[in-house]
Amino acid sequence: MLSSEKIIDALEEQGVTHVVGVPDNGSRALFERLWAHPQIEVILTSREGEAFGLASGLYLGGATPLVLIQNTGFFEAGDGFRGTAYNMGIPLVMMVGYRGYKTMEPGAPRVDTAATFFEPTLKAWDIPYTAMHEDGDIAQIPAAFAKARETSLPTAVLIVPETV
């Protein structure tokens, strides 16, 4: 489990103004806490590809957005990501739920391709990433922002267990 409170503390430290995306089971608690946040605005999109266009517009307009989606939606978002955030050179951090992670463990009854396709796709799309497995990994968030600013390109932080 990952602490939503600690994640939000990290987002506040980075000056995040907007969280854009689509909730899933893993990010449910985080979204619920964000909805109640007095400074960070949550903007839902109908599909994940929109999140990258919307966040890119927010950034160019002077805001500091974060994209929050699940890996299934990440796959759908390919052209939106490539044609906006990546090609525009937006230092955008995305947090992506790692659906199916446990199905890759030895002995799992079935493998979820949302998990097995995920990291190869991140690499193919030239997205540096780290993963949060426990609260101690929340320190990856400022590192991801620093990397995005340094490269002027998007980076990703993967949400492995559910947020609480």
Partner 1 sequence: MLDKYECLKKLAARRTDEVVVTTMSVAMPWAELSDGPLDFAHVESAMGHAADFALGLAIAQPERRVFVINGDGSTLMCLGTLVTLAQRPAPNLTMVITENGTYEVTGNQPVPGAGQIDYEQICRGAGIQNVYTIEDADQFDAHLEAHFTGAGPQVFIWKIAQASEPVPKPKRPIRERAHNLRQALVG
Give contact residues for partner 1 (rule: CB under 8 A). Answer: 18, 20, 43-47, 49-63, 65, 79-80, 82-84, 87-90
Give me 89's structure tokens: 């050179």
Say how far apart CA 52 and CA 74 lie, in whole Å.
10
**Considering only CA atoms, which of 51, 121, 120 is closest in space to residue 85?**
51
Closest CB 119 distance from partner 1, rounded Å:
23
Query: CB 7 → partner 1: shortest distance, Å?
Result: 22
Of 67 and 158, the one with the shorter C-beta distance to partner 1 is 67
Q: How far is the CB of 43 from partner 1 (least distance, A)?
A: 5
Tokens at 112, concatenated? 């979820």
Least CB distance from residue 81 to partner 1, whole Å?
A: 8
Nearer to partner 1, 43 or 131 (CB): 43
Chain-centroid distance, C-alpha 163: 13
Q: Which is nearer to partner 1, 76 or 162 (CB)?
A: 76
Q: Which is nearer to partner 1, 57 or 142 (CB)?
A: 57
| Contact (CB, 8 A) for 21 and 92 | no
Cα–Cα distance measured from residue 67 to residue 58, given in angstroms and rounded to the nearest whole number: 11
Q: Report yes or no: 56 and 90 within 8 Å, Cβ to Cβ.
A: yes
